[in-house]
């Protein structure tokens, strides 16, 4: 199963707004994605409650994993998203 480990770039960590942005993108993907942090078991990346429960603060290392034909592309995209400071970006009107 392909994996990517990334440092959370958001200044406040994976709290409500950055988590919502990440979860929305994870849910749009053609393959299911899992996320884990702090030695916890992986949880569905498309679940806002599960992602928030990870408690991934700023600079936390999280691991993404996925299976399927497009897993590598999806993981690269989502890892890039998590590495950005999503708190500093303008809200997406969509």
Going from N- to C-terminal start, the domains of the chain cover 3-83
What global pTM score does this model have? 0.91
The tens digit of pLDDT for each residue in 26-82 reads: 999 999 999 999 999 999 999 999 999 999 999 999 999 999 999 999 999 999 999
Active-site residue (options: 3, 15, 31, 40): 15
CA 59/CA 66 separation, integer angstroms: 22
57: tokens are 């603060």
Is 53 assigned a catalytic role?
no
Q: Which of 28, 94, 43, 3 is nearest to 14 (CA)?
A: 43
Q: For domain 3-83, give the fold.
A: 3.30.1340
């Amino acid at each position: 199963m392909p994996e990517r480990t990334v440092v959370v770039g958001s200044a406040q960590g994976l709290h409500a707004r950055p988590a919502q942005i990440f979860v929305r993108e994870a849910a749009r993907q053609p393959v299911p994605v899992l996320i884990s942090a702090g030695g916890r078991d992986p949880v569905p990346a498309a679940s806002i409650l599960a992602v928030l429960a990870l408690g991934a603060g700023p600079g936390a290392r999280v691991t993404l994993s996925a299976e399927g034909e497009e897993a590598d592309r999806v993981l690269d995209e989502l890892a890039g998203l998590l590495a950005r400071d999503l708190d500093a970006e303008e809200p997406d009107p969509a």
